[in-house]
Structure 1
Amino acid sequence: MWQNIINWLENNLATCTFQKHFGIACPGCGLQTSLLALLKGDIWESIHLYPALIPMLSMLSLLLLHLKFKFSWGTVILKYLFFLSVLLILFSYIYRISSYY
């Protein structure tokens, strides 16, 4: 069943309109392929493709749990995960853009 889902996702990847029109990758480029690598179990490849994916998924999971169970420490951890995700997105994007030139 998972293999069918992964095959379908691989065959139906969305194209980046930002990259299509401007010729450079957007900050979100690599997210889909990183998610596919993670679904296949290749964690290092997933981190290499899009370093912010795992913190973003952790943040989303914690957010859903926090909304349900109202953890006293939930908002603090969510803020840290958010800032970590933003920093990883920015640094990886700057690194990716600098490799073009």
Structure 2
Amino acid sequence: MWQNIINWLENHLATCTFQKHFGIACPGCGLQTSLLALLKGDIWEAILLYPALIPILSMLTLLILHLKFKFSWGAIILKYLFSLSVFLVLASYAIKISSVF
């Protein structure tokens, strides 16, 4: 069943309109392929493709749990995960862009 879902996702990846129009990758480029690698169980490949994926998924999971259970420490951890995610997105984008020019 998982393989069918993964095959369907691989065949229906969205194209990046930013890259299509401007010819350079956007900060979100690589997220879909990274998620597919993670679904296939290849954690290292997922990290290499989009380093912010795991912190973003962790942040979203904690956010849902925090909204449901109201953890006393939830807000501060969410702030740190958000900051880490933003840093990783910007750092990986800067590296991607610097290799283009």
TM-score range, shorter chain: over 0.9
In 1, the alpha carbon distance for the partners of 2:4 and 2:70 equals 36
**TM-score (ref. length: structure 2):** 1.00
Classify the secondary structure of the residue corresponding to 1:51: coil
The residue that corresponds to 1:66 in the other structure is 66
Q: Counterpart of 1:99 in 2: which secondary structure?
A: helix
Is there any run of 5+ residues in structure 1 with no aligned partner, and where? none
TM-score, with normalisation over the residues of structure 1? 1.00
1:98 corresponds to 2:98 = yes
> 1:91: Cα distance to partner?
0.2
Q: Among all aligned residue pairs of Structure 1 and Structure 2, give the percentage whose two residues are the same amino acid.
A: 83
Number of residue pairs aligned between Structure 1 and Structure 2 = 101
Displacement of 1:40: 0.2
Structure-2 residue corresponding to 1:50:
50
1:40-61 CA deviation, whole Å, 9 max, x = no partner? 0000000000000000000000
The residue type paired with residue 25 of structure 1 is: A
Residue of structure 2 equivalent to 1:33:
33
Q: What is the CA-CA distance between 1:23 and the residue it aligns to?
A: 0.2
Cα deviation digits, residues 12-61 of structure 1 (max 9, x gap): 00000000000000000000000000000000000000000000000000
**Distance of 1:100 and 1:58 partners within structure 2:** 30
Q: Which runs of 5+ in 2 are unaligned?
A: none
**Following superposition, which runs of at least 4 residues in structure 1 exceed 3 angstroms of deviation?**
none
Taking only aligned residues, the RMSD between alpha carbons, in angstroms, comes to: 0.2
